[in-house]
Amino acid sequence: MPPRRTESSVKLSTGTVRGDQAEGVRRFLGIPYAAAPIGDLRFAEPAPVAPWVHERDATTPGATAPQYPYDGGMERFLGTTIVPGDDFLNLNVWAPAKGSRMPVMVWIHGGSFIHGSNALDAYDGTTFARDGIVFVAINYRLGAEGFSVLDGAPTNLGIADQLAALRWVQTEIAAFGGDPAKVTVFGESAGGSSVATLLAHPDARSLFARAIVQSGPLSAKPAKEAGRISRLMAKKLGIKPTRDAFAAKTPQELLDAQKAVMAGSNPIMGGPGFAPSVGGAFVPRNPEEALQTGAGRDIPLMIGATSEEYRLWFMPSGLMDRVNSALLLAARAKFGIGRRVYAPYRHNRPDASPGEMLGVLATDVILRLPLIRLADARLGRGAATWVYEFAWRSPVEDLGAAHAMELGFVFDGLARPDSIALAGDDAPQSLADAMHAAWVAFATHGDPGWRRWNEERPVQVFDEEGAHLVEAPREDERSAWPR
Q: In whole angstroms, how far apart are CA 408 and each of 72, 122, 123, 431?
A: 23, 7, 9, 10
Alpha-carbon gap, residue 289 to 276, rounded angstroms: 14
Alpha-carbon gap, residue 55 to 53, rounded angstroms: 7
Q: Taking a C-beta distance cutoff of 8 angstroms, is the pair 393, 401 a contact?
A: yes
Amino acid at 108: I
353 classed as catalytic: no
Q: Is 237 helix (H, G, I), strand (E, B) or coil?
A: helix
Identify the active-site residue in 403, 406, 436, 477.
Answer: 403
Nearest residue to 410 via CA among 24, 135, 161: 135
Q: Taking a C-beta distance cutoff of 8 angstroms, is the pair 308, 363 a contact?
A: yes
Q: Taking a C-beta distance cutoff of 8 angstroms, is the pair 304, 371 a contact?
A: yes
Q: In whole angstroms, how far apart are CA 447 and each of 83, 259, 373, 386, 441?
A: 37, 42, 21, 8, 6
Alpha-carbon gap, residue 394 to 419, rounded angstroms: 11
Task: Give Dmax (Cα) for the chain.
Answer: 68
Alpha-carbon gap, residue 70 to 74, rounded angstroms: 6
Q: How far is CA 322 from the centre of its chain?
A: 29
Task: Tell me the backbone φ, ψ of residue 308, rounded to 5 degrees.
Answer: -135, 55
Identify the active-site residue in 309, 356, 389, 406.
Answer: 309
Nearest residue to 173 via CA among 147, 138, 148, 142: 138
Identify the active-site residue in 189, 193, 215, 394.
Answer: 189
403 classed as catalytic: yes
* Strand 466-471, strand 458-463: pairing: antiparallel
Residue 475: HSE in the Cβ half-sphere, 13 Å Cα cutoff:
8
Tell me the β-bridge partners of 26.
21, 95
115 classed as catalytic: no
Alpha-carbon gap, residue 149 to 416, rounded angstroms: 37
Amino acid at 134: V
Q: Which residues are catalytic?
A: 189, 309, 403
